[in-house]
Structure 1
Amino acid sequence: MSDDYVFEGPADEPPAPRDNNPPLSISELSFALKRTLEDRFGHVRLRGEISKVNHHASGHVYLTLKDDKSAIDGVVWKGVVRGLGVRPESGLEVIVTGKITSYPARSSYQIVIESMEAAGAGALLAQLERLKTKLAGEGLFEGSRKKPIPTFPTTIGVITSPTGAVIRDILHRIAERWPCRVIVWPVVVQGDAAAGQVANAIRGFDALTADSPVPRPDLLIVARGGGSVEDLWCFNDETLARTVAAASIPIISAVGHETDTTLIDFVSDRRAPTPTGAAEIATPVLADLQYAVADFERRLVRAGGRLLEDRRTRLRAAARGLPARPEDLLALPQQRLDLAGSKLGSALHRNVAVHERQYAAVSARLSDGLLNRAIERRHDRMVAVSERFEPAIRRRLDRDQTRLAALSRALTSLDPKRPKPGFARVEDEHGAMIASASGLHDGQAVRLVFADGAKGARIDGGAGGEPIPAPKPRPAPKPRPAPPGQGDLF
């Protein structure tokens, strides 16, 4: 019996042939291809130009890599995006590393990108030019928004690596030109973490206030030594450029040598060719200022002397042009002044006499009757008003006095300190009034206050239903017999 036939059913039916190529489902084929691609191309490096970049809300980045003939889809998972060497942008030529896999839902293959780097300096510069064009269009390079550099800073903040020659050159240059306080914020100046650390340092300095324990700098210097385009690429970060532009403290960019140009050079308030040049831009020369002040002082003294000498010369020239001596010119006016002064006393007396006569003429027309009539009119008006209001005021006073007397009688009758006849006020040993039986206990000493006096008492604890027997009257005392020998006077 051949293995190609199986017998099912009655013996007289022919056997059904076995299928050597069973059909596969679409999912089985797709996942088989996926496993084959991942096994065969588990690690590949591709070079191409980025296009159709999509930064998804989930954090993943979807893009397409292409050359002049072909294209392949790519995906960068969210956890890998932060560690990429460059930011994915359309038109950028890059070299990516990853693995080839397939997307079964669309029967297409793609590369899962694990690392990305620029394909060369040309690609990096092209990306930089696109970013510069974007920021320039937003007005971040405008000179009108740049802040002036303070002339005499008291505190300077330096953002750079704490090791190396850059920080030493800056500190040495500031110390010899303009000794002031320098605060160093250490950061890394190369690599993926550099841009974030520099941006955080700028925001940290910008957040300081006048009352902070660390003084707020008047000026910031972002410095780094020279290097290649790749070494300085962290200073072309868009987020860092926007942080520099938004800072309220003036910033001097001193990244690289004079021929090196980074993005923060365009958005900072001043660009320095070298870190040492940044220290020179930030500080004046103290010796030059002292020399200038001394020179100003000498020039002021010389100018004052020249001014006095010029005035003296002009005065002498004017005196030579006079027709006589100055004493002779002043003699006649002085004589007229003396004559006027001698007449001043008699003139004042005559003036007083004239005004006295005028006052006497006017005072004759004045009399006490004018004032008395005005006073009498106001007195009559006051009497009329008082006669009209006095009865009403008196009635009001009588009514209020009657109410006050009634209230006084009610107060007297309700005063607990003045019991009525037949009533008594109960007080404890401290004089506090007891208002209810719950405030008493057996054997407690109390004081009963009547209208005509007070008596002491003690609580016996008996039931209130039994009458209290009246005390027996004390017998009257017997009269004493008269002493013997005393006679009756009557």
Structure 2
Amino acid sequence: MTLLDEPQTPASNITEYSVTELSGVLKRTIEDRFGLVRVRGEISGFRGRHSSGHCYFSLKDERARLEAVIWKATYAKLAFKPEEGLEVVATGRLTTYPGSSKYQIVIEEIAPAGAGALMALLNERRMKLEAEGLFAAERKKKLPFLPRVIGVVTSPTGAVIRDIRHRIADRFPVHLVVWPVRVQGETSGEEVARAIAGFDAIEAGGPIPRPDVIIVARGGGSLEDLWGFNDEAVVRAVAACSIPLISAIGHETDWTLIDHVADMRAPTPTGAAEIAVPVKAEISAALAGLHARQDGAAFRLMEHERRAVAGLARALPSPDMLLALPRRRLDEAASGLSRSLRLGLSDKRRLFGEAGARLSVTSLEHSVQQKRAELRHADACILHGLQSSVGLRRQRFDRVASLLRPQAIAAKGDEKRARFDVFAQRFEAALAHSMEARRGALTTAGRMVESLSPMRVLSRGYAIIRDTDNNPVTRAADLLPGMSFEVEFAAGERRRAVAEEDGAPPRPRPAPRRRAAKAAEDQGSLF
């Protein structure tokens, strides 16, 4: 009896293999069927020797691709070393790699077969565009020192855009505008060309900021992977772009046609970010250095100008020199003033004489009569005015006299006299105090003068030696042998003497008088 829910296993006579068993069968089959083969193809994806010493790359033609490997020991024996893009004839054994289900050729010998088809096409295209002048150095534009906006043409999901963003953020954060494109495949070249033309078509001041510099970036890859950047449309789009452009395609050893036409080539996308923006810390340090140099230069300039002003001030003439010429002119004018006065007086006298000659007796009598009439009129006015004024002043005097009484006048006089007596007493006391203070100060000053007088020093047994010019001699070296000098004692007494050499026998002297002997006993010997 069969249960309905029990799985039905169809009967089959096909042999069942595990994945490992099937991979081993395929490996033995291929190795037995194709023991030793010769393959012609173009080297692609060659990156030199691996860290293990082995070489991994591909052999390809127009339709197919074959993985290849050269082991470390075989590579050391090869006379011809493989290079990217070369067409070669490789001899080796076919085998499989079970880890990825791929078959490959293990090369034992390799020889060149001519340049590869892709490399030949690339070279032909390069020569054509170069002949048109698209790669000329004079067409290349200068990159801005500090762009505000950077346009990036790359894949938005790859590691390239992350590297560029992080590097720019570390060096000098600016605004990034990313134009997403495919960086590999048949449509990559057309998309990159449209992206470059699109950035160039952005208007300044629009909703989308116009880039100051464009970076076209892609990671490393084989020649086929980078073929889109060898597209003629991409090259012409870069040449027609008015914005400076940096190409960062592949690794440092990868070259594409966009690298030749770009304004600047970067070895890597990270290097493109470093070329596009400077280091903010370095700019800050440079600005600080420039500010310090500016401050120093300003200080030195001020010092130079200050010294120049001081020098000019020393070169200015003194006030006496400035006033010398005006002073001389003043003296000359003063000396000529009396002569000018005499000439002026003679001119006035002459004019007075001429005016007096024109005056007659009749005109004078008429003038005198007119003046007498005016005088009588003025006399009458003055008399009337005096009478009025006297009347007013008499009224004021009567009012003041009525207010003044003998008793008030006497009280006022007593008050003034009392105040005068008080002021007189205070003046006498102040005068006596001032005289006493000045007398004490004079006495103190006299004592000070007396104590500082050199005559008091001489009275204690000292003496002053003076030369012939009456100048004091303070050192023995100033007395030369044979030099005459005077010795001043107390009470103004002086004696003349002559200096002698050290060790010379003393000359005979007259016998001193009694008074001189006593003075010598009191004062002692001078030499």
Structure 1-normalised TM-score? 0.43
Structure number with greater Rg is 2
Higher helix share: 2
